Structures are given as C-alpha cells and as structure tokens.
Structure 1
C-alpha cells in the first residue's frame, strides 16, 4: 500500500497550471472521452465521419461537461468566498450542502467549522467583557479604599481592611478560574484519586459554605442528608465543584431560604443533589449554563460564567454527569428553586489478594 502511494505521488500533474477545477474536470473528461472515441474508431477501421457531425458532438459534449461541472464546483466557490469573509471576521456565511458526494461532505464540514468559529469568537468576546467587568469592580473598590486611607479620609480599621480582603479574594477566585480554564484547554488534568466518605465530605463543604455565606451577608440555612457512602475521586477537585454549587445556591436563595444537599445511592452510582429556594433556571437556559462564559438570567451580581463549566469538566473527569433537572421531577420537599444533580460512580471494589 505504501509503495502504491509512492508511485501515485510520483505521477505528473499536468493540470496543475489550470486555475479552474471546472476546466480541469472538462479537460480530464474530454481527454478521456477523446481517447475512448479514438479507440472506438480504430476498432471500426476508421470509418468515415462527417466533420460537421463531429463538431456538433464535441460542442454538445462540452456544454454537457460545463453544466455538470458547474454543479460540482459551485460549493467550492462558495467556500472560497465564505473563507475570505471569515478571514475578515464575518462568520455568518454558510455553504449550501445538497450533494451527497465528497464535495457535499466538505461543505457540511465547512459549515460546522464556521459555526464553531462563530461560537469561539462569541465566547472570546464574552470572556473579554466578563473578565474586564470582574476585574474592574474589585480593583475600583480597592483603589477607592486605599485612596481614602492615603488621603486620611478613613483609617485602616478592621472593617475597612475586611472589605479590601473580600475584594482581593474575589480577584483570587477569578485568577483561579482562568488558570483552571487554561489547564482544561491544555489537557493538563492531574487527578489525585482516593476513597472519599460522602457524608464527611459534604459536611466539610457545607461548613465552609456556611462561613462564606455569613461573610457575604446571605441569610440562608444549609441542610445535609447523606448516608454512609464511599466514592473514589479527587477530594480537592470535587470540593471545588460543590463549593461552587453551594455558593451559587446561597447567592440566589431568598433571605431565610434553605439550601438542601442530599446524597443517595442508585445502583453503582451515587446521586448528589443541591437544591435552593430561589427563582430557578429557565428551561431554555439549563443546557447552556454549563458552557463557558455563560452566566444565564440568574447571574445578576457578576461572575465570569466559568464556575459551572469547570464543575462539569471536573465531574466528567470522574466519569460522572451534572445537569439542572426539572423541579417537577425533583422531590416535593425540594420545590421550588434550582435543582442540580451530580452523578458519580461508586468506589470501585478492592481486589483481595488473600
């Protein structure tokens, strides 16, 4: 097979100087037809043929070739025009893909590429806008605090410094999310798997979320319900997932609301559910909230839209799933609000060597 490819690679390309693929197809088919016609004539002993009829046959053949070649090359020309438009930043052009041959497959792939590039460009613009907003808000607050202290308007009291610390922590979270995103894109995903006791794990996450909610002024109550279950995973990464889910639930819960965290075993998996009593996520937004830079209608207080995207990434690394479920399918005690279900495989059974 390799020898055949080498032989084909050595073959000459006499039609390369021709700048039109339609002309190439016409020349190739015309030469092939001409050779076949000559062989046919030779087999008939070179019968006498009127030159006028020969000219008419050649003309009709060329017209037919032009018509057939036109339909085959139009998608290629459209792709050329669309590619030039995309080079200028216009990703709205599409190619009509109606044929079922290789050109049609190429046109379909081209349209998919154009859609992906448009989505990437949109995400890039959203990233710049969201990150710029997220950076400007804490930097402006820090600048105002420091200017007041330097000008003597206020003193470095604990409350003032606590506000500055909060803004610095907000900047730190943003940098952490961006670093996680770069690791995701680079494929650098170190996981340190170990057995995790679900009840103890959720208890630690909820205690941290309670402290963070109190510090942020969110009047919410956390309720945990988890049996004795063990899973195998990266505790730090999973802690990052549920810390994000609980933080979102606390921010979107009404004053005095309850955030419920429960775990239950389902066959060879464990279901971890986080529910709040907020306004919920519209059905049209549920599939998109886990995309990068998508904040949804509930994100009224900032955010880059990276938290849930990173959460899905971590869950998928653990061979699990994460989704926003319909409140109607959730237990009655959890309604209304947002309900997010995380499904993870149980700890694999240990093989005894005895």
Structure 2
C-alpha cells in the first residue's frame, strides 16, 4: 500500500505549468465534458443508447480527471500531514511544491516556514543545553566550595571565599544576559541619553576584570551622548568575550576615539584565535557561539552565544553600527555610536 502511494505521488503533474488554479479548474471542467461527450458519441456509433454509455462516460471522465488533475490538491494534503508532524515536534517534513499557481506558492511558503521553525527549534535546544551547562558548572563549583567549608575540610580563607564569589558573579552575569534577552524579545527600545565622560565610563566597565591584562587607550577629554546602561551592556559583553577568548597572559585592548561624524568610536581587541572571515556576519546572531573557544581569565568555556547579540541590539538602539575589523591577529570589534542629533529620529 505504501509502495502504491509513493508511486502515485511520483506521477507527473500535467497542470503544474499553469499559473492560476482557476485556469486549472477550467481545464478540468472542459476535459471532463469533452470526455463524456466523446464516450456517448462513440457509444452511438456502436449502437448503444445514451443511458448505457453515460455511466461509462462518467467513470472514464473521472479517471481522466484524476490523471490530469493529479497534484492540484496534493500539496494541501501534504501540508496537513506535515502540520500534524510539526505539532508532534517533527520539523523535517517538506511539501512537494512543483506547481506554479497559488497552491504552489502556498506550499513554498509552508516549506520556508517549516525550515524557519526547524532552525528556531534547533537554536532553542542548543540554547537550553548551553544555559544548562553554564548554570551547572558554577553551581557545582560553588556547592563544592561551600560543602568543603561546612564540613571543615577547607578553612574559610579569603581565597576560598573569593572563589565562591567568582562563581556567584558568573551566575549573575548569566542571569543578566537572560534578562537582557527578555528585554530584546519584549521590544524594550527606550533610551535615556546622557553626556558621558568616556574615560571614567571605560574605567568603570573594565574594573570588573581585575585579573585581566588590560590596555586602555582613551582620547583625552572624550565625551559621548549615549544611554549609560545600554552602552555599558555593549562594552561589558565585548570585554567578557575578549577576556574569555584571550590566551593566558594575553592583553585585551580598549580604544576610544572620536568618530568621523563626531560620535564615539569604541574598539575592543584581544590576542585570541580571532574570528574567521566566513563567520563574521554571524557572530552577532543570537545563540551563535562561533568555532573558536578559549579558557582565558574570565568565564571559561564558549559562553551562551548571547553577549554579542545583546551588544548589537544595544548599538542598534543608538542608531550605530558594530562589526569585526580586520586584524593581523586576534579579534578586533569596533562600535560606532553616532552623535545624538543624528539618531534623535530613531
């Protein structure tokens, strides 16, 4: 039975070249009428009456219609089957979209939707796995430290307590990223622009990495008009990414200069493996963790793939731009924040 169904599905669809389903219905009607009339006339020529040839003509007409109209409604049936499979979590089904009419266009749109849903489902699974891993690691480390202190195995020295604080800070960063992601999905796009002393702002952001080797280069007297919290999200995520992917003893460089339009040009570079040219257009997408991974001074592992996506969102709110700059070694990311007057209309 399955073999016959597959064979029927592979039969040619003669009406597929027609671009309108109305024309197809017209062709089916004309073919049906002509077939019935020809059968009746053929019966008269052989001496049969119309009441004898008419049922045969109708049956033959139905068979001819099945052959020529094959495929007109097949995509609709396939979409019904695929939709039921998608409801069960199977997004691999696709519809054969060979016709050029409205049903064919619907089938193509359905296939695109199925592909998008499959990509979203894959990203969701990867996100859950990444977040679960990121949560499990600091929680396990924190639990081990606290159990050792509680059991008297390890004395509560400042070093031990500092390691516990580092794990809680890592958890805090992850929770912050998840909250930022919820703001992105909720469409939170309000800005509270203030005039920032860039040198003081950069010093405040980099103070969160006391163990990292940082080279800070800010133009004297540089000021910028931006939302402090949003811009802090940008710089914090870039620093976290750079510190994490830097090799032990590597230097992370933060550079701030006036932009050509009078705004702010902010760069963060590291000495890590860098970002391949083919991946540069994707690193700012949500859940993208990249091929490279590092175990620098900061958070170990490859992260959740949210930091750069959140940074791009915050830069977009300012009407600016964020991109990877060519560098002989490591990764270099530049942020351009335009003058406030240039983005008032955004």
TM-score band by shorter chain is 0.7 to 0.9
Task: Check conservation: 1:203, 1:224, Cα contact below 8 A.
Answer: no
Partner of 2:198: 201
8 A Cα contact 1:205 1:243, kept in partner:
no
Partner Cα distance (2:93, 2:176) in 1: 37
Cα distance change of structure 1 residues 326 and 52 upon mapping to structure 2, 3 Å threshold: farther
Partner of 1:111: 111
- What are the equivalent positions in structure 2 for 1:141-290 lying under 5 Å apart? 141-194=141-194, 196-197=195-196, 200-209=197-206, 211-214=207-210, 217-218=211-212, 220-226=213-219, 231-254=224-247, 255-267=249-261, 270-290=264-284
SS in 2 for 1:153: coil
Which digits, 9 at most, give the CA deviation of each residue in 1:39-83, with x for residues without a partner?
xx9xxxxxxx84737869867764554344223223223322322
Aligned equivalent of 2:316: 316
- Distance in structure 2 (CA, Å) of the matches to 1:27 and 1:162: 75
Separation (CA, whole Å) in 2 of partners of 1:108 and 1:316:
32
Alpha-carbon distance, 1:102 to partner: 1.6
Residues 259 and 336 in structure 2, CA contact (< 8 A), matched pair in contact too: no
Indicate if the aligned counterparts of 1:289 and 1:295 stay in contact, CA closer than 8 A: yes
Contact 2:250/2:271 (8 A) holds in 1: no
- Structure 2 alignment gaps of length 5 or more: 1-20, 45-49, 295-299
What RMSD in Å do the two structures reach over aligned CA positions?
3.5
The match for 1:52 is 43
Give the gaps of 5 or more residues in structure 1. Answer: 1-23, 42-48, 328-334
Q: How far apart are 1:171 and its partner, in Å?
A: 1.0
CA contact (8 A) 2:318 2:343 kept: no
The equivalent position to 2:336 in structure 1, one of 332, 343, 346, is: 343
Cα offset, 1:245, TM superposition: 0.5
| Superimposed CA distance per residue, residues 199-242 of structure 1 (whole angstroms, 9 cap, x where no aligned partner) | x2254224531x3332xx33x23232447665543111111111
Q: 1:97 maps to what in 2? A: 97
Q: State the distance in 1 between where 2:238 and 2:168 align.
A: 21
Verify the 8 A CA contact 2:252 2:268 in the aligned structure 1.
no
Question: Distance between the aligned counterparts of 2:343 and 2:113, measured in 1?
Answer: 45
Query: Measured at CA, do residues 126 and 349 of structure 1 come closer, stay the same or move farther in structure 2, by a change above 3 Å?
Result: closer
CA distance in structure 2 between the aligned counterparts of 1:350 and 1:168, rounded to whole angstroms: 38
Distance, in Å, in 2 between the alignment partners of 1:226 and 1:268 is 13
CA contact (8 A) 2:28 2:65 kept: no
Q: Tell me whether 166-175 or 318-327 shows the greater mean CA deviation.
A: 318-327
> How far is the alpha carbon of 1:258 from its aligned partner?
4.4
